[in-house]
Amino acid sequence: MSAPLIFTLPMLPPSVNHYVEHPDAGVHLKSAAAKAWEDDFIAMLPAWARGQYVTGERFRVTLSFTFGPHDRGDVDNRNKMILDCCAKAGMFHNLKGQPVSDAWVKHLHVEIRDSKEDRRNGPQTHVMIEAI
């Protein structure tokens, strides 16, 4: 198993409510906001984190969202975008060294930091990925 991968991004992911658009009945398309955030995710990753990954059979992901002055949201509506982006960036690898999906995440801890002091420092998203 490898060392944890820890990084902080100076932004919040869009809510799951803004992840998919439904232009027609039965049609589900990734929203422009979700596509833009995916691009920003890679661009905003610290240089040392690009190309880094955690190797294991199962993963624990800890997310800490620090809200900015006007941000809001529930503890469950920002997780999908982060997990999808981490998987797309190849941050989860199995023991054979192959990239795997976020379906291998078996433990997820989420915290919203939204005190007045936190909001002065936000928005930001702190991510820790560990093999378990």
45-81 pLDDT, tens digit per residue, is 888 888 899 999 999 999 999 999 999 888 888 899 9
Q: pTM score, two decimals?
A: 0.88
CA–CA separation, 97 and 71 (whole Å): 38
pLDDT at 92: 97
Query: Across the chain, which distance is largest between two alpha carbons, in Å?
Result: 45
Question: Which residues on neighbouring strands pair with residue 109, listed in sequence order?
Answer: 62
Per-residue pLDDT at 6: 96
List of the chain residues with pLDDT < 70: 1, 17-19, 22
pLDDT the model gives residue 104: 98
pLDDT at 30: 81
Q: What is the pLDDT of residue 15?
A: 82
Q: What is the pLDDT of residue 79?
A: 92
Domain 5-21+28-131 has CATH 3.40.190.10: no
**Hey, where are the domains in the chain?**
5-21+28-131
What count of Cα atoms within 13 Å lies in the side-chain half-sphere of residue 75? 8
Closest to 12 measured CA to CA, from 80, 59, 87: 80
pLDDT of residue 1: 61
* Element at 42 (helix H, strand E): helix 32-44
Helix (H) or strand (E) holding 121: helix 116-121
Both structure tokens of 87: 């998987």
